[in-house]
Amino acid sequence: MKIKLTLILFVLLFAGAKSFAQQVRLNAYGVYAFEDNVDSYYDANNYYNGKINGSFMWGAGAEYMALPHTGVELLYMRQDTKAPLTYYYRGAQFANFDLANNFIMIGANQYFRKPGGIVEGFAGASVGADVISIKNPNTNYSDTPTKFAFGLKAGANFWISPVVGIKLQAQLLSAVQSVGGAAYFGTGGAGVGVGTASSMLQFGLGGGLVFNLNAK
C-alpha cells in the first residue's frame, strides 16, 4: 500500500512536467529531521509523553514558475521513524511506535537572484495534509489519520550549470493535532474520545537538487 501511494504521488508530481517544460522546475530533497518532544495530559488516567526520533526525510516537488521569481510547487515528503512514548492504559505503559509521515503539500516560493549570479536565495510557505501511519508494536494496533499540515522553508540554490543546481535549505513541517491518544491506547482503551492531542513540529536541515527544464 505504501509503495502504491508513493508511486501515485510521483505520477501526480511529474505528469504535467512535459507539457509545461518551458516553465517547470523539478526538485529533489533529502533532509535530516530533528527529534521533537510530544506530550498531552488530560488527567491522571489519560496522558502520554515522549518524542519523535530524528530521521532522514526525502521527497520531490514539481514547481511551476508562474512569474520569473515566483514558483508554485506541488510537494511530497516522506519520513520513516520511531516514536518512543510513555502512556497510561491500565497502568503506565511504554512502546516504541512505528511512525511514517507522508506530507502532501502545495505552496509558493519566492526567489532572489542577481543577474548573472549563480546563487539564488529563496523562501517559501506551504499548506496541505500529513497522511500518518502509526503502529503500536506491543498491541499491533495501528491507525492512519490524515491531519492538516503547514510548512516553511528558506535556503539557496547554487547553479552549477544552466540546468542543474545544488539546493541547501532549512525547513519546518508541522502536522496540527497529529499525535493523539486513540492511536496509542487503541479502540476501547483509556483516552478514546478524549480530545487531547499534540502538534508535530519537524525541523530539518538538508538540501537536494533542482533541475531547470526551461534552460536552453
What confidence score (pLDDT) does residue 190 get?
37
What confidence score (pLDDT) does residue 189 get?
40
| CA 64 to each of CA 8, 33, 71, 74: distance values in angstroms, whole numbers, following the listed order | 19, 26, 5, 9
What confidence score (pLDDT) does residue 98 get?
92
Distance CA 72, CA 10 (A): 17
> What is the reported pTM?
0.81
What confidence score (pLDDT) does residue 198 get?
63
What confidence score (pLDDT) does residue 141 get?
83
Distance CA 102, CA 105 (A): 10
- The rounded average pLDDT for each run of 10 residues, N- to C-terminus, in the chain (216 residues) is 56 52 87 89 72 96 94 97 83 87 97 94 97 87 87 97 96 77 42 50 95 83
DSSP-assigned letter for residue 35: P
What confidence score (pLDDT) does residue 179 get?
55
Query: Closest Cα partner for 83 from 138, 130, 46, 45?
Result: 138
Helix (H) or strand (E) holding 2: helix 2-14
The CATH number given to 2-212 is 2.40.160.20
Q: Are 98 and 82 in contact (CB under 8 A)?
A: yes
35-66 in b/e form (b: 16+ CB < 10 A) is: bbebebeeeeebbbebebbbbebebbbbbebe
Task: Give the domain ranges of the chain.
Answer: 2-212
Distance CA 53, CA 96 (A): 10
